[in-house]
Amino acid sequence: MTMAIGVTVFVVGLIVSVMLHEAGHFLFARRFGMKATKFFVGFGPTLWSTQRGETEYGVKAILAGGFVKIVGMTELEPVAEEDQPRAFYRQPAPQRAVVLAAGSVTHFLIAFVLLLVIFSGTGLTQLSTTIGGISPCVPEGESTQCAAGAPASPAQEAGLRPGDRVVSVNGQPVEEWSDFVEATQASAGSPLALVVERDGGPVTLRPEPVERTRGGEAVGVLGVTGELTQERVGPLTGLGKAAVGLWEFSRASVLALAAIPAAIPDLLDATFGDGERSPEGLVGPVGIGRVSGELLQADIPVLGRVADLLALIAGLNVFIGIFNLLPLLPLDGGHLGVLLFERTRAWLYRLFGRADPGRVDLNKLLPVAYLFLFLLIGLSVLLLFADIVNPVDIPL
């Protein structure tokens, strides 16, 4: 049931994001006096529609996107004589640029709002400096099971208890759980001078970490786990953190886009050969939907699961926003690129006293647009097949 809820939230979030994307185009087009005749969610056969003024609103059968029909988006389509003054291509370049960019900007705004909700609303799941659990033993290697007759863990022997708040280690104050972990891992075989707060007062203990191999490295281990808490910040601090988060998501999205060509051979090998899918490789909507369901099943506080799901939707919005700005037709970024080229060329011609050569002949760009669409559809089908037959195992 939880899995189904997570997948449903992801799908609904994606559909709402698409609707808001198209609403961005639509509202600015209307604001600048352009004529928009259709506003639809989905593609294919129409399931429902209604006419309101000059615009038809509706839902189509395939909920894999959406579109707004703005009269005269290109000179390739016929425009009635009475609609010529309101045709998109007849409007000033700055207004056309705003309409084209509005969709991607909307995705960034969605992500920013979701990040603000996470930082100042649900809070981030953090390990506090409070002991959450004590292991009865410290298993060898990567095992998590205690063998029969295994010695007690150093934490248990030293008398540590759940609820103890770590104050200092070897005289150094502990501000974060990672401070405690680093001191422990560096002290295999050497007793720690550990001060914890218990029942409102300080208690000094001297546990001795044992050496164990973790992640291929020999480190000191006590056998304790930290307590998970939800860390919230005020609205003003949340605005700053949301801005930083938006930047980090944007940076990660750019890197992910740049890595797509190199990741395709690995995806083909994992889908049709003997390779394994990497958690850092390409994942399609089906795979992301499955991950969203698994997020709500994770063994963390409920608000933490909600925050992780919102972060997933925020990150996806940033990726879509940046992808849509790629200078390739028929993406909005492609139309923006053509507009920028036209305005730059016109400026250069004026600089040298020559007449404006006019608009770019889009017929010459159609083969490139068709090639891009062919490659995009092919990659989408490949990802769909891969997510079904060989789903990626993403650690949560």
Residues carrying an active site annotation = 22
CB 169 within 8 A of CB 180: yes
CB 20 within 8 A of CB 104: no
What's the CA dihedral at 249, 255, 256, 259 to 10 degrees? 180
Q: What is the token pair recorded at 10?
A: 């992801």
Cα 233 to Cα 166, 181, 389: the distances in Å are 22, 25, 42
**6-27: b (≥16 Cβ within 10 Å) or e:** bbebbeebbbebbbbbbbbbbe
Beta-ladder partners of 218: 213
Cite the DSSP H helix spans in 32-175: 93-117, 154-158
Containing 127, the helix (H) or strand (E) segment is strand 124-134
Number of H helices, E strands in the chain: 9, 10
The residue among 300, 128, 311, 144 whose CA lies nearest residue 221 is: 144
The C-alpha atoms of residue 240 and residue 242 are separated, in whole angstroms, by 5
Residue 357 is which amino acid?
P
